[in-house]
Amino acid sequence: MIRYALTCKAGHGFESWFASAEAYAALAGTGQLACPVCGLRQIEKALMAPSVRPARTAESAAEERPKLGLPATELETALAELRRQVEANSEYVGMNFVAEARAIHDGAAPERSIYGEARPDEAKRLIEDGVPVAPLPFRPARKTN
């Protein structure tokens, strides 16, 4: 689509949209364009400034893009730090978390910090049995996109 500023012989100015420059030429050539004010069919294109936005510089484009790898809020920063601490100071046992937590609690496995995955019903049974566990506010790295 293309927009043209048009004027009639009486001096009335108006704008109209056309499918292409050729579409305008065909309509104007056959007298099918008329002034919406006075109805005259003698229409000409008027001078008009193009509507072009300035190009963005690479720097401004980079500033507009969100930095998805970096925390955006204080809470996200705190959660990222908690995750780093847990991963640095604990052993990931994956889906074996429930069995490993019970073994540590019962003294059948060496005491150490672990983290992993458990279904809600399994986690509830651990808590009911007095095994000290707590949910973490993040998913294991293998589960993130």
For residues 12 and 69, give the distance between their C-alpha atoms in angstroms, rounded to a whole number. 56
- The residue behind tokens 């936005």 is 53
Tell me how many domains the chain contains.
2
In a domain, 61, yes or no: no
pLDDT of residue 121: 95
Residue type, 53: R
Higher per-residue confidence, 51 vs 95 = 95
User: What's the mean per-residue pLDDT of the chain?
Assistant: 86
Amino acid at 104: I
Identify the domain containing residue 10 by its residue range: 2-45
**In the prediction, which pLDDT does 125 show?**
95
Residue 70 has what pLDDT? 72
Residue 97 lies in a domain: yes
d(CA 101, CA 104): 5
Number of H helices, E strands in the chain: 5, 5
Q: Are residues 82 and 129 in the same domain?
A: yes
pLDDT (tens digit per residue) in 36-94? 899 899 999 887 766 677 766 666 666 666 677 776 788 888 888 999 999 999 999 99
In this prediction, residue 80 carries a pLDDT of: 87
The amino acid at residue 18 is F
**pLDDT at res. 138:** 85
Whether 54 is covered by a domain: the verdict is no
Looking at residue 140, its pLDDT comes to 78
Q: What are phi and psi of 97, to 5 degrees?
A: -60, -45
